[in-house]
Amino acid sequence: MFETKFLNLKIDKAKKQEIIIDTNVFLESEVSISLVYNILNKNLFVRLFQFVVIVTFLLLTFRLAVIQVYTAPVWQDWASRSSNQIVYIIPPRGRILDKNGKILVNNQVSFALVTTGKTLQNQEKRDLIKMRLNLSEKDLEKFISEGYGGFVKLKKDLKGDEMLKVADITSDLDAELIPEYSRSYLDKTNPEQSSKVNSLSGIVGYTGLADEKQIQNLDKEIYKPETRIGITGLEKIYENTLQGVPGKIEKKSIIKNTQTQDKINIDSVQGKDITTTIDLDLQLKIYDLAKEEFNKAQITSGSVVILNAETGEIRTLLNFPDYDPTSFEDKKQQFKLSQYFRDELRPLFNRTARGQYSPGSSIKPFVGAVAMQNKIIKPGDEISDSGVLQVKSKTIDGRIDQFINYKSTNLGVLDLKKAIAKSSDVFFYFLVGGDPETGKIPFINDSNRQNPLGVNQLDEGLRQYFGFGEKTGVDLDLENKGVLPTPVYKESRGLGSWFLGDDYQTAIGQGFFLSTPLQMARATAVFANEGTLVTPHLVSSQNAQKRASGLDTDVLNYITSAMRGVVLEGTAKRLQDNRSSIAAKTGSAQFDPKNPEKVNGWVVSFNQNQDIIKEKLVVVVLTENIDKTAEYITVPITNKIWQEIEKNWEGK
């Protein structure tokens, strides 16, 4: 029987059809060793033909066994993956709270209606979805192109009644409602707060959708398509804390005798909250006040920092101009983004941590402290200030460069305390650079004529005692470290050789000298807390570092007294209006040689006692691009801020 089958087999080569052989039938056939032997004894042609067929059977049998044993798991895995469809539930981020637990940043929820790509392949379901949701074919194609993970989003931003209506038909459409979260700011139910969201922009920053490149470099178990990540501010710095764990809905096809679907739901886990050092009540009050005063004086740009001098905790931080972080969350407001990016005043730029400005005369207490610590000057040493210092040019024959006080004022005989109170430029020219003729400090009744401090020694002292020229360590992104100018700094940047005039400019906080508002606040805190260099920070759980400045107590007391003198008899007399004992220093610095009448104005200040205000606080106010009479604008603003701080404490 077996022999007959093979003899009568006809193969149509033209059709090239694949022959599938049931190896079980072959093995269970009536083949025996004796039959094979008889076949092989036939004529040569028949024996060869039969041999080829037998070998072919054996090879096909072996190949089938390989496929079944070794490659089946691979195909099963592919089939499993192709039949699974997963939609990830992006979790709500952790909240950002003020120091008393009041909400700075929260989450608001809406819902999206999603279905599977497989569902949309069913024409009957597809037509039903279009009809029930009032969608066109073009709409569906667009949604399909935007889909991910086998799921397609049919409706989004569903809230209230609209969400409830859609919920009633989800089973008919073979669809799911999933929650989606976006950031909300302050208490939306409080009209007084809802209009002040911009006040938080320099603190919390904003979030955005993670792109594919970012996701590739992040934990893929946490970051999925449509995950929002922190882009700036606290949202960025504390991303790992604020980010939650995604949930998922997984639809898995199970194929046995019939095809069924199994649905697996895993809830998302919200990110962890962070508690900041911000006093929200104070933040909002100072925001209103500063904004009003800036507008009155037509000041478009500036910064306000209120810092706890003993701990480094930031109580208030403001940038002007500001921006609305909601515009990065709400698509209806995203038209504002292009305005922000095009605005020449750069509202997205965090001036407090990143803005670098010449500190002007506000640097003089710090220069004086370095000089005293290095025994260059002592209490009682006096210099005569004629209002003008003339220096022969080293580059142009016959040219005389003049270094003058503001309005060329002749301030007469001064010690260091009075020089700080009256803000003498000439005094500090001599202290750092010396007399241009002798190279010495022309102290009255000093026959030895002391060598000046010099810019290198000044640089070292400002860095060691006050942290200038280095980052403060604040928990904000992209902080700048400012510039402490030296001959090496100037020459390495191709700015030419260092001259005596550079010493003079550095001594009064101009020239190449740059500092951030946070650096000024941190440095001022050294006087307020009697010698400790703190780390400014915004989140209370941060283990903020402190270190001793290394300044002697008598130096600290002397300079603090001098800064109190600025309020009592100097350039900040308006600060006497406060019941707290305020010490301060004013400053103004030119920033554009082509427009010398425009300056940046500074006031750095702190309270000496805690009779009303129970914390030792530092207040730094920066006003940008104002008229040269800077202190007459910046001081009144600072005065009102201190008055508001006192009111804030009276209510506690």
Looking at the DSSP bridge assignments, the partners of residue 313 are: 537
20 domain residue, yes or no: yes
- Which of these, 19, 22, 20, lies nearest to 10 by C-alpha position? 19
CA distances from 271 to 180, 340, 603 (A): 14, 29, 40
Looking at the DSSP bridge assignments, the partners of residue 620 are: 305, 604
CA distance 4 to 42: 13
> Does pLDDT of 647 surpass 90?
yes
Which of 242, 258, 275 delimits the end of a domain?
275
For 444, counting Cβ atoms within 10 Å of its Cβ (0-12 exposed, 13-18 middle, 19+ buried), the class is: exposed
- Predicted confidence at residue 77, as pLDDT, reads 41
The residue ranking higher by pLDDT, 372 or 8, is: 372
The mean pLDDT of 287-313, rounded to a whole number, is 96
**Residues 475 and 459 occupy one common structural domain:** yes
**Residues 25 and 167 occupy one common structural domain:** no
- Predicted confidence at residue 149, as pLDDT, reads 64
299 domain residue, yes or no: no
Q: Are 519 and 472 in contact (CB under 8 A)?
A: yes
637 domain residue, yes or no: yes
Give me the percent of the chain exceeding a pLDDT of 90. 58
Which residue, chain included where needed, has tokens 């003089």? 364
**Residues 262 and 180 occupy one common structural domain:** yes
**Residues 622 and 481 occupy one common structural domain:** yes
The mean pLDDT of 600-622, rounded to a whole number, is 95
158 domain residue, yes or no: yes
Q: What's the whole-number average pLDDT of the chain? A: 85
C-alpha dihedral over 427, 429, 433, 436, to 10 degrees? -100
Looking at the DSSP bridge assignments, the partners of residue 113 are: 155, 177
Which of 37, 54, 82 delimits the end of a domain?
82
**Residues 492 and 474 occupy one common structural domain:** yes
User: CB neighbours (10 Å) of residue 248?
Assistant: 16
> Does pLDDT of 454 surpass 70?
yes
* Cα radius of gyration (the chain): 39
> Does pLDDT of 12 surpass 50?
no
CA distance 232 to 221: 23
**Residues 500 and 604 occupy one common structural domain:** yes
**Residues 267 and 388 occupy one common structural domain:** no
**Residues 169 and 249 occupy one common structural domain:** yes
Which of 210, 241, 275 delimits the end of a domain?
275
CATH of the domain at 161: 3.90.1310.10
Six-digit token string for 24: 């079980």
- Which structural domain range is residue 207 located in? 90-275
Q: pLDDT (tens digit, 9 = 90+) per residue, 161-215?
A: 888 888 888 888 888 899 999 999 998 888 888 889 999 999 999 999 887 778 8
Continuous segment of H or E residues that includes residue 563: helix 553-569
Q: Are 607 and 582 in contact (CB under 8 A)?
A: yes
247 domain residue, yes or no: yes
Look up residue 429 and give its amino acid: Y
SS3 per residue for 229-259: EECCHHHHHCHHHHCCECEEEEEEEEECCCE
> Does pLDDT of 332 surpass 60?
yes
Identify the weakest region by mean pLDDT among 120-129, 231-240, 432-441, 596-605. 120-129
CA distances from 276 to 223, 314, 539, 622 (A): 25, 9, 4, 23
384: pLDDT confidence band, cut at 50, 70 and 90?
A: very high
The mean pLDDT of 450-471, rounded to a whole number, is 96
45: pLDDT confidence band, cut at 50, 70 and 90?
A: low
- Predicted confidence at residue 236, as pLDDT, reads 96
CB-facing half-sphere around the CA of 117: CA atoms within 13 A: 16
433 domain residue, yes or no: yes
Give me the percent of the chain exceeding a pLDDT of 70. 84
- Predicted confidence at residue 83, as pLDDT, reads 55
- Predicted confidence at residue 398, as pLDDT, reads 67
The mean pLDDT of 422-429, rounded to a whole number, is 96
**Residues 558 and 433 occupy one common structural domain:** yes
**Residues 71 and 155 occupy one common structural domain:** no
Q: pLDDT (tens digit, 9 = 90+) per residue, 341-374?
A: 999 999 999 999 999 999 999 999 999 999 999 9
DSSP code per residue over 83-142: HEEEEEEPPPPPPEE-TTS-EEEEEEEEEEEEEEHHHHHSHHHHHHHHHHHT--HHHHHH
Q: Are 310 and 620 in contact (CB under 8 A)?
A: no
343 domain residue, yes or no: no
Q: pLDDT (tens digit, 9 = 90+) per residue, 94-124?
A: 999 999 999 999 999 999 999 888 788 889 8
For the chain, the domain total comes to 3
> Does pLDDT of 336 surpass 60?
yes
> Does pLDDT of 3 surpass 70?
no
Q: pLDDT (tens digit, 9 = 90+) per residue, 550-608?
A: 999 999 999 999 999 999 999 999 999 888 999 999 999 988 888 888 899 999 999 99
CATH of the domain at 384: 3.40.710.10
**Residues 201 and 69 occupy one common structural domain:** no
638 domain residue, yes or no: yes
Q: Are 383 and 414 in contact (CB under 8 A)?
A: yes
- Predicted confidence at residue 582, as pLDDT, reads 97
**Residues 164 and 73 occupy one common structural domain:** no
- Predicted confidence at residue 650, as pLDDT, reads 83
Look up residue 492 and give its amino acid: S
